[in-house]
Amino acid sequence: MSETMEEYLKTIWVLEEENIKSIRIKDISTALAVKPPSVVQMLTKLEEVGLIHYIKHKEVCLTKKGKDAGQAIVRYHRLMEVLFSDVIEGSNEDVEILSCGAEHFVTPDIAKKICTFLNHPDTCPHGKPIPRGDCCNGD
Ligand SMILES: [Zn+2]
Ligand SMILES: [Zn+2]
């Protein structure tokens, strides 16, 4: 999966988390600051690989597979935010830039190690819940 695809899945996952009833092209276009025709192009690609359902001119939703993938990226992003903000004590901008980059390189194994190192945090520095991982179930 490309980084752009991951950015889209993360964005749609967060829009669903925010309880936006029907997610439209303009919601994604605004969130990602990408022009609508490019959004449509990427959504078509994501639909082809079974990560989203896209009803033309209507709405977008994640498939089960897309939800799982989106949730994993959000988990990595928020774990990185905790790491870069609480441990590294980076500035707000640095935390955002580093988390947005690192989320694409984190593997499930690394995420587990970071999560355990951070003592399985519940929320990111913005107060958003961090999706639980396998490592978090034991506590
Ligand atoms: Zn956050
Ligand atoms: Zn954990």
The pLDDT of residue 20 is 81
Distance 112 CA to ligand 2 centre (A): 6
Helix axes 3-17, 36-48, angle to 10 degrees: 100
CA–CA dist 129, 74 (Å, integer): 10
Distance 119 CA to ligand 2 centre (A): 7
What domains can you pick out in the chain, each with its CATH number?
3-67 (1.10.10.10), 74-128 (1.10.10.10)
Distance 124 CA to ligand 1 centre (A): 5
The pLDDT of residue 104 is 93
The pLDDT of residue 67 is 97
Which spans in the chain are helix H?
A: 3-17, 25-32, 36-48, 64-82, 92-102, 108-117
The pLDDT of residue 138 is 60
CB atoms within 10 A of CB 83: 20
- pTM for the full predicted model: 0.91
pLDDT in single tens digits along all 139 residues of the chain:
899 999 999 999 999 999 887 899 999 999 999 999 999 999 999 999 999 998 877 789 999 999 999 999 999 999 999 999 999 999 999 999 999 999 999 999 999 999 999 999 999 999 999 999 999 986 5
Q: For residues 8 and 34, is the Cβ–Cβ distance under 8 A?
A: no
Distance 61 CA to ligand 2 centre (A): 27
**Strand partners of residue 86:** none
Q: For residues 11 and 28, is the Cβ–Cβ distance under 8 A?
A: yes
CA–CA dist 64, 80 (Å, integer): 24
CA–CA dist 20, 65 (Å, integer): 20
